[in-house]
Structure 1
Amino acid sequence: MRKFKTESKKLLDLMINSIYTNKEIFLRELISNASDAVDKLNFMSLTDDNMHVDQKDLAIRVSFDKDARTITVSDNGIGMTAEELERNLGTIAHSGSEEFKAENADSQGDAIDIIGQFGVGFYSAFMVAKRVRVVSRAYGSDEANVWESDGLEGYTIEPGERADHGTDVILTLRDDEPGHDGEPGENYSHYLSEWALKDLIRRYSNYVRYPIQMMVTKSRQKPKPEDAGDDYKPEYEDYEELETINSMTPIWKKRQSDVEQSDYNEFYKSTFHDFEDPARTISFHAEGALEYDALLFIPARAPFDLYSKDYEKGLALYSSNVMIMEKCADLLPDYYNFVRGVVDSADVSLNISRETLQHDRQLHAIARRVEKRITSELESMRDDDREAYEKFFENFGRGLKYGIYASYGAKASGLADLLLFWSAKEQKMVTLREYVEAMPEGQKAIYYAAGDDRDRLAKMPVVTGVLGRGFDVLLCTQDVDEFTFQAMREYVARDCPKVYEDDAAREAAEKAVADGAEPETEDRHLELKNVATGDLDLASEDEKKEAEETTKEHGDLFDAMKEALGDHVEKVAVSARLGEGDTPACITTEGPLSLEMEKVLKRGPEGEVEGMPKAVRVLELNGKSPVFAKLVAAQEAGDADKVKLYAGLLYDQALLVEGLLPEDPVAFAKNVCELM
């Protein structure tokens, strides 16, 4: 027996038990090696006129023997001599494929697609096999040789027999291991089935460029006997047929003009197990320093577990048509986690197991390009097919908003224009850009209201007050909305028509345009303001002055109401926002935390924890309401009990308008009955 070279036993043990985390990839590695062997022969036949190889005959064969517990991977490729068996299989981490690529670097092209590069994939067979036998005959040689090893101490190389050039790798599987101490055992017999091997081939090696063939069992109806009576029942028989398991040519490497959308749809549904066609398909090829193909799909509906902690994002990553990772999370940002698809590149730096990637600039470069293409496709859908985009946004808009919030606003420049909100004025979904374009002259902020019900929001006094002044209000009903706006802080509307400070400047600009100049544009920085906060500054100077005078005149009343309400409110004052309406009071907030944000935080896992932040509440009274006159009369009459009763009722009814329950519903009901 020949010993493995280098510290082979330790290296082999490390590789079998540590490098690979998933035993089932052994078949992928062996098929990749077989593909390399066939590729080498094909390449040499293209460069050597004395070699005559029929490309139609090049193939890989997989078979199994249940009784002997063997799996065989055969190819009719270049084969190996005894010396090459010694060099390639006797020296761990020596890659014959990598050596071949280096020797033929100047003449390679599309005709060759060597996959191997580390020289360790072959040894993954020992994860499932207790013995591996390799029978190989080099092209042009009359002799075959047999390499055999149990993967422990060493190997043997002996003369053998093989009818033609190529290699057979025969794995004798390990015995099944029962589980113990609650841990599952190992079922190696699972691989000794037609279904299991076909599944592994299609999952990991479906796009290897050469046919991967298996003898498969099929059923057919027997011919009806001539003497069969009317009561004859059809009989069936099983038979075996050689079948090509893999599809070979990946759809993502075909020209987009050569593929029907129905083909993309079928690939998407069968690969990603969806019953609906995708909403959008994105196919592109990148060339240059980094070459890769990408085929991406935007689903028509959200998967049921999209927002659960168990959901895994990522694109399928292939290298030279061999699947490396089923879901490479690094290729997608979290806010595009719904996108499905494939990226195939021979240029990404794989680690030794080919199961994971080195984190390098190549991977990040692909991810950036993928993100840009997704964004561009969504912008196109938004502008060209609004109905489809609104349906998309209904399914996936929450993730886009969360992307802005989670990045503390850093992603706002790329995502803000993809967001949609309900316009109280237009009665439809609008983008922030569309909101800005419809703003009246002089408006300096974007106004929004946050709550859990659109109809209730539209009727709130703080909303109707802003609408009454001619400004639109965005009605936000998702819990992430206000957090998103606070992370953004402002919206930058790019290339807006320039707003001039005076008539002379505007007239001069209009004249310049009439003379052929391009209209001037500017970027407008617009603050995002919640209409329920106290700093809207929409009132006229006269309204502000009147409110201040009324507050000062009835300071004793407001002090008494503040004392009655205690810590529930920061202060009580006359409102400049309620105008002539019949709303007697409303609650606003001061500081960054609104009532809606307080509600969202309370619904969270730490909502009942002591010390959770609360909104700083202000009770604003309508100085022109008949109710205010009643309050003034009670205060002037010295009826402290009535002032206290009215203060509590006004505060509780303002809470109800905000969608909040009174803090003491029993007391509220009692006070209403007392008034009745």
Structure 2
Amino acid sequence: MAKKQFKAESKRLLDLMIHSIYTNQEIFLRELISNASDAMDKLCYLSLTNDKVSVNREELAIRIIPNKENNTLTVSDNGIGMDQKALEDNLGVIARSGSLQFKNDMSETEIKPEDIDIIGQFGVGFYSAFMVSESVAVITKPYGSDIAYKWESTGADGYTITECEKDTVGTDIIMTLKKDTEDENYSRFLNDYTLRNLVKKYSDYIRYPIKMDVEKSRPVENKDKDDEPKYETYIENETLNDMVPIWHKQKSEVTDEQYNQFYKDKFFDYEDPIKTIHISTEGVISYEALLFIPSKTPYNYFTKEYEKGLQLYSSGVLIMDKCSDLIPEHFRFVRGVVDSQDLSLNISREMLQQNRQLQVIASSIEKKIKRELSKMLENDREKYQEFFKHFGIQLKYGVVSEYGAHKDNLKDLLLFYSSTEQKPVTLAEYISRMKEEQKYIYYACGETITKIDHLPQTEAIKDKDYEILYLTDEVDDFVMNILHEVEGKELKSVNSDDVVDKEDREAAQEQTKENKDLFDFMKESLAGKVKEVRISEKLKSHPVCLSSEGNISLEMEKYFAQMQSDQHMKAERVLELNAQHPIFNMLKDAYENDKERANKISEMLYNQAMLIAGFSVEDPTAYTDLLCELLSK
């Protein structure tokens, strides 16, 4: 029996198959199961065009047979089988797909190739078996023939084909696994637990049952009447896959409990999702998706270990466990699966060839997520507020990212605490309550709602009975700067000079000029800690506050400090004083009569303004000593 050589430079291609094209050894089982599924599909399609071909679909199955004694793993099907020519054409020529040829052949019938849902395209999946095998034998008997054939190969040195005995139609692929080494554990592929997990991971939704004899144990009667429980082992022919994906079912056929259980089993969560989104779309690119919004942030959500992405399937076969291109960063908390028959896969089926297809699906998914969140906001406010408590900051970072490219898509989903409503509100709700003479949407930033409510800068706004948005997230100030305006209403910080009337501003400017010498003295005393000292037009009852000039606000400075980057970005600080407060008269008197005391009062006022603004003072002990000294005199 002469050994035949592979065609089409197959030695080199087979070497690439084993070492380069596939990046994960465990993929081989997915490929062989997919090929077995294709073989049964072909038999079913053939029965549609040939009255002489009879198929009992209930008997079609894929079987996995691990044999630890012989160190072999067999994947068996009762599909269409192959004759000698098909063996030579399909297994003797690498990168020639029998499934693809079958599709083309069927074009001569009434069935269109695009209507034939067969997974294989490239004719390379079979050879992934050599990643884990020393040798591979294929025993096959084609439908309608009494002759069976055996194809054998140890790899790139060629193959043999001989006639053999086989009782049933179909194909058995028998892999003699490589010996274990220090670096590789091939024998794990004979373990029931490993095989079950690989089927669940990659081939759970193959439409035919994938069966395996599994050794199990069960309790038996303890005839000895001692305390030790007795068990017996038995073999059960177990079906490893679910076959019909839950996302293929009609929404009316699936209960909330089934959705929730699928989510918890699939994504290892203990709690039900706060929202389930079931999508079935037909168009330029058809796809189905089942998406979930978790009820809480995953434990590693804000760490580098967390990976965004949706599971991507092609005709029920897992292609990527986390396809990040399917979900935008601002919706990275969404988990789920996407299944499409229209994807153009690369030769290993591990990656995609055309980003355009993914982009179409991703764009559709983003719109549907936005629509469902908007519905939740409108129809179930309590649930939405619970969602926003966990993932609202992600939406805010989405507004800021990419220079505000997504702000218009996300602004309607944002919630901010209202000073008047005393609960989270949307920007649209704020605008609907604005007074007729009110020009701006006012906001204030701080560590907590209570601290913000006590900020001196809020007094001027409150006196006019205007609503203020209280912002406590570190990214909020950036969000407001990126949004800039909503529905023609400009967003203004309470620190802005524009929040007061023109008359008050002009009066404050005049008083600042009158006290220029005092303020120059204070700037010098504070040794460059502030850019400017001036009379405040915003303060009413409080003596002092800290504001900023330029593009960097005080809240931005805090944010950059938390980032611990090399860039020490600081705001240009302005110390604002209340000319109507008694402490200001004390300061003026000290400046005229006791410069040293004026210097100490300046230091005290600056530290007070720092504390009010949420900064820590450089030397708390020195500050308290200074305060006690001033109070004692």
**For residues 400-459 of structure 1, what are the alpha-carbon distances to aligned partners after superposition, in whole Å with 9 as ceiling and x for unaligned?**
111111221110001111111111222101111111111111322222222222211110
Q: In the alignment, residue 571 of structure 1 is paired with which amino acid? A: E
What is the aligned partner in structure 2 of residue 206 from structure 1? 204
1:425–1:467 CA contact under 8 A, matched in 2: no
1:532–1:594 CA contact under 8 A, matched in 2: no
C-alpha deviation, 1:527, in angstroms: 2.4
Kindly report which structure 2 residues correspond to 1:312-461, keeping only aligned pairs within 5 A, or say none.
Answer: 312-461=307-456
What is the aligned partner in structure 2 of residue 87 from structure 1? 89
What is the aligned partner in structure 2 of residue 497 from structure 1? none
The 1:46/1:359 distance shift into structure 2, 3 A limit, reads: closer
Distance across 1 between alignment mates of 2:544 and 2:312: 59
**For residues 507-557 of structure 1, what are the alpha-carbon distances to aligned partners after superposition, in whole Å with 9 as ceiling and x for unaligned?**
xxxxxxxxxxxxxxxxx3222222224x3x232233223222322222222
* 1:124 is the counterpart of 2:132: no
C-alpha deviation, 1:563, in angstroms: 2.1
What is the aligned partner in structure 2 of residue 622 from structure 1? 578
Shifted more, 166-175 versus 107-116: the winner is 107-116
Kindly report which structure 2 residues correspond to 1:211-610, keeping only aligned pairs within 5 A, or say none.
Answer: 211-222=209-220, 228=223, 235-488=230-483, 490-492=484-486, 524-533=487-496, 535=497, 537-579=498-540, 581=541, 583-606=542-565, 609=566
Distance across 2 between alignment mates of 1:332 and 1:477: 27
**For residues 205-230 of structure 1, what are the alpha-carbon distances to aligned partners after superposition, in whole Å with 9 as ceiling and x for unaligned?**
00000111111112223357xxx576
1:77 is paired with a residue of what secondary structure?
A: coil
Distance across 2 between alignment mates of 1:200 and 1:545: 75
**For residues 457-482 of structure 1, what are the alpha-carbon distances to aligned partners after superposition, in whole Å with 9 as ceiling and x for unaligned?**
11010123322222222111111211
Percent identity of equivalent pairs? 50
**For residues 156-195 of structure 1, what are the alpha-carbon distances to aligned partners after superposition, in whole Å with 9 as ceiling and x for unaligned?**
00111110110000000001111xxxxxx00001111111
Choose which of 620, 627, 632 in structure 2 pairs with 1:672.
627
Distance across 1 between alignment mates of 2:442 and 2:346: 51
Q: In the alignment, residue 364 of structure 2 is paired with which amino acid? A: R
Q: In the alignment, residue 58 of structure 2 is paired with which amino acid? A: K
1:405 is paired with a residue of what secondary structure?
A: helix
Distance across 2 between alignment mates of 1:476 and 1:366: 35
What is the aligned partner in structure 1 of residue 598 from structure 2? 643
C-alpha deviation, 1:110, in angstroms: 10
C-alpha deviation, 1:232, in angstroms: 8.2
2:63 is paired with a residue of what secondary structure?
A: strand
Q: In the alignment, residue 538 of structure 2 is paired with which amino acid? A: R
Distance across 2 between alignment mates of 1:68 and 1:462: 81
Distance across 2 between alignment mates of 1:423 and 1:169: 68
Shifted more, 233-242 versus 51-60: the winner is 233-242
**For residues 366-425 of structure 1, what are the alpha-carbon distances to aligned partners after superposition, in whole Å with 9 as ceiling and x for unaligned?**
000001111111111111111111111111111111111122111000111111111122
Q: In the alignment, residue 586 of structure 2 is paired with which amino acid? A: K
**For residues 616-660 of structure 1, what are the alpha-carbon distances to aligned partners after superposition, in whole Å with 9 as ceiling and x for unaligned?**
11111111111112223333x432222222211111111111121
Q: In the alignment, residue 188 of structure 1 is paired with which amino acid? A: Y
* 1:152 is the counterpart of 2:122: no
1:220–1:237 CA contact under 8 A, matched in 2: yes
1:43–1:111 CA contact under 8 A, matched in 2: no
Distance across 1 between alignment mates of 2:421 and 2:103: 64
Distance across 1 between alignment mates of 2:227 and 2:500: 93
Task: Provide TM-score, normalisation by structure 2.
Answer: 0.96
1:377 is paired with a residue of what secondary structure?
A: helix
1:374 is paired with a residue of what secondary structure?
A: helix
Distance across 2 between alignment mates of 1:668 and 1:213: 77
Distance across 1 between alignment mates of 2:116 and 2:246: 19
* 1:142 is the counterpart of 2:105: no
Q: In the alignment, residue 651 of structure 1 is paired with which amino acid? A: Y
1:568 is paired with a residue of what secondary structure?
A: coil
C-alpha deviation, 1:559, in angstroms: 2.1
Distance across 2 between alignment mates of 1:648 and 1:271: 60
Distance across 2 between alignment mates of 1:51 and 1:421: 67
Distance across 1 between alignment mates of 2:114 and 2:257: 28
Q: In the alignment, residue 152 of structure 2 is paired with which amino acid? A: E
Equivalences, count: 627
Distance across 2 between alignment mates of 1:110 and 1:94: 19
1:217 is paired with a residue of what secondary structure?
A: strand
C-alpha deviation, 1:231, in angstroms: 5.4
1:3 is paired with a residue of what secondary structure?
A: coil
**For residues 300-344 of structure 1, what are the alpha-carbon distances to aligned partners after superposition, in whole Å with 9 as ceiling and x for unaligned?**
111011111111111111111111111111100111111111110
Task: Provide TM-score, normalisation by structure 1.
Answer: 0.90
Kindly report which structure 2 residues correspond to 1:43-192, keeping only aligned pairs within 5 A, or say none.
Answer: 43-105=45-107, 106-108=110-112, 112-178=116-182, 185-192=183-190
C-alpha deviation, 1:77, in angstroms: 0.4
Q: What residue ranges of structure 2 are gaps of 5+ in the alignment? A: none
1:293–1:345 CA contact under 8 A, matched in 2: yes
The 1:229/1:26 distance shift into structure 2, 3 A limit, reads: closer
2:18–2:130 CA contact under 8 A, matched in 1: yes
C-alpha deviation, 1:96, in angstroms: 0.5
Distance across 2 between alignment mates of 1:158 and 1:416: 69
C-alpha deviation, 1:202, in angstroms: 1.0
2:460–2:500 CA contact under 8 A, matched in 1: no
Q: In the alignment, residue 302 of structure 2 is paired with which amino acid? A: Y
Q: What residue ranges of structure 1 are gaps of 5+ in the alignment? A: 179-184, 493-523
Distance across 1 between alignment mates of 2:303 and 2:226: 57
1:289 is paired with a residue of what secondary structure?
A: coil
**For residues 653-672 of structure 1, what are the alpha-carbon distances to aligned partners after superposition, in whole Å with 9 as ceiling and x for unaligned?**
11111121223434322321
The 1:110/1:119 distance shift into structure 2, 3 A limit, reads: closer
The 1:289/1:103 distance shift into structure 2, 3 A limit, reads: farther
2:459–2:538 CA contact under 8 A, matched in 1: no
C-alpha deviation, 1:108, in angstroms: 4.6
Distance across 1 between alignment mates of 2:344 and 2:229: 57
1:218–1:240 CA contact under 8 A, matched in 2: yes
C-alpha deviation, 1:269, in angstroms: 0.7
Q: In the alignment, residue 612 of structure 2 is paired with which amino acid? A: V
The 1:605/1:629 distance shift into structure 2, 3 A limit, reads: closer
Choose which of 194, 203, 211 in structure 1 pairs with 2:192.
194
Runs of at least 4 residues off by over 6 Å:
none
Distance across 1 between alignment mates of 2:564 and 2:575: 29
